[in-house]
Amino acid sequence: MKNTLLIKISVSLLGLLLICGISMAQTSITTTNSQNRTLIDGTTAPVAATETPDLVTKGTLVPYLVVPDAALNPSYILATDKTSTANVVSSFTWTTAGIGAITNTGYKHYIELDITGNVSATPLTMNVKEQSGASCPDATGTDISIRIIAQPDATGASVTDGTGDASVCASGTNGSLNVVFPTFKVTPSLDAAISSSTPNVKVKATLAFTPLNGTSSTIFTNQVLSVDASGNISNTDLATASGLTDFDSWGTYTLTVNYVSDKISRKDIRTGNTDANLDNGYFAPTTAISSAYTVLKTPTTGPIYHISNTGL
């Protein structure tokens, strides 16, 4: 009887270990929502490309990797070998016709794809086949559907204090007026493939100040500011970038949007542009975008005088 009980306990424990092992294996690759990066750089583990189709922005450089066959590449570890070929024994053939060209050299399971194809609502197919040795390829490989979308843009800008005005009267002491930030707003222009409810737009903007009587100066240059679904630029980001909790001086505050990105374009890993602000998924808007908010001095009317008549 004791032996039978021990056997039952052993079988139960073995079953639990197998279940735990399966669960851990299933969570080793994290899936993502439809507008995330295909591959996350740095120490973060790669994420599966789960978009249908996978959206990529024309003019960007997008990384892709395929997980090698574990039996053929036993030393490969996804979390640490995502861009390294050191532990990859197999070879790979990528087909990217119409989508773009592979730019990194010595690629195997990992590629950097320069998106040069035409913007289109019609998805294209990228295929990768793994090969063992010199003559044993996977006959079909793995396909992924890819749609090329337009670069993000912004087509207009405005600013208001909530009443529709782009100015406010302020009395008090110059330098400590405590004028609440107005709402700076842009109109993002995004490819129709991106959900309008979650555009996840960011801009790089410059804030300049021209005092009531004085020379203009720059408060910050090309700082990243978030834009909500209504086009409103984050006042929290504005405060962080400027070091101000409010506008505190008489004069004109001018916010200029120099670059714009969306979540899809930030799959881009481009670096080394002549203008570094164009790296990593940012693009210059087609037209200059600028909006100004003026803090006017509330005047104190002086006394009334007679002008002396020399004939008196």
Burial of 281 (0-12, 13-18, 19+ CB in 10 A): buried
Terminal CA-CA length for the chain: 134
- 266: which DSSP letter? G
Asked, for residue 9, whether it belongs to a domain, the answer is no
Q: What is the pLDDT of residue 37?
A: 40
Q: Which pair of tokens denotes residue 196?
A: 């309008």
H/E segment holding residue 24: helix 2-26
Asked, for residue 10, whether it belongs to a domain, the answer is no
Q: Is it the case that residue 141 has pLDDT exceeding 80? A: yes
Same structural domain, 135 and 198: no
Q: What is the pLDDT of residue 213?
A: 87
Same structural domain, 58 and 103: yes
Q: Is it the case that residue 18 has pLDDT exceeding 70? A: no
Q: How far is CA 260 from CA 101, 175, 255, in A?
A: 25, 32, 14
Q: What is the pLDDT of residue 2?
A: 43
Q: What is the pLDDT of residue 233?
A: 96
Q: What is the pLDDT of residue 27?
A: 26
**10 or 91: whose pLDDT is higher?**
91
Same structural domain, 206 and 100: no
Is residue 225 a contact partner of residue 205, using CB atoms and an 8 Å limit?
yes
Same structural domain, 37 and 137: yes
Same structural domain, 127 and 166: no
Average pLDDT over residues 173-192: 93
Q: Which pair of tokens denotes residue 137?
A: 């390829």
Same structural domain, 117 and 175: no
Domain around 162: 153-297
Mean pLDDT of the chain, nearest integer: 84
Helix (H, G, I), strand (E, B) or coil at 209: strand
CATH number at residue 123: 2.60.40.10
Helix (H, G, I), strand (E, B) or coil at 130: strand
Domain endpoint, select from 110, 126, 149: 149
Asked, for residue 68, whether it belongs to a domain, the answer is yes
pLDDT band at 197 (very low <50, low <70, confident <90, very high): low
Same structural domain, 159 and 275: yes
pLDDT band at 164 (very low <50, low <70, confident <90, very high): confident
In the β-sheet with 110-115, what is the strand arrangement from edge to edge? 61-65, 110-115, 100-102
Is residue 84 a contact partner of residue 76, using CB atoms and an 8 Å limit?
no
Asked whether the whole model's pTM tops 0.85, one would answer: no
pLDDT band at 229 (very low <50, low <70, confident <90, very high): confident
**106 or 7: whose pLDDT is higher?**
106
Torsion of CA 194, 199, 205, 209, to 10 degrees: 130
Same structural domain, 207 and 143: no
Q: Poorest-confidence range of 11-20, 38-47, 227-236?
A: 11-20
Q: What is the pLDDT of residue 202?
A: 95
Phi, psi at residue 253, to the nearest 5°?
A: -100, 120
What tens digit of pLDDT does each residue of 27-58 get? 222 223 333 444 444 445 577 777 789 999 99
Domain endpoint, select from 110, 134, 149: 149
pLDDT band at 63 (very low <50, low <70, confident <90, very high): very high
Same structural domain, 262 and 168: yes
- For the chain, the domain total comes to 2
Average pLDDT over residues 130-145: 91
Residues 6+ apart with CB under 8 A from 59: 115, 116, 151, 283
Residues 6+ apart with CB under 8 A from 20: none
Average pLDDT over residues 143-164: 92
What percent of the chain lies above the pLDDT cut of 70? 83
Q: What is the pLDDT of residue 196?
A: 67
Domain endpoint, select from 102, 117, 149: 149
Q: Is it the case that residue 114 has pLDDT exceeding 80? A: yes
What tens digit of pLDDT does each residue of 65-106 get? 999 999 999 999 988 888 888 999 999 999 999 999 999 987
Same structural domain, 159 and 279: yes
CATH number at residue 228: 2.60.40
Same structural domain, 49 and 183: no
In one-letter notation, the amino acid at residue 106 is G
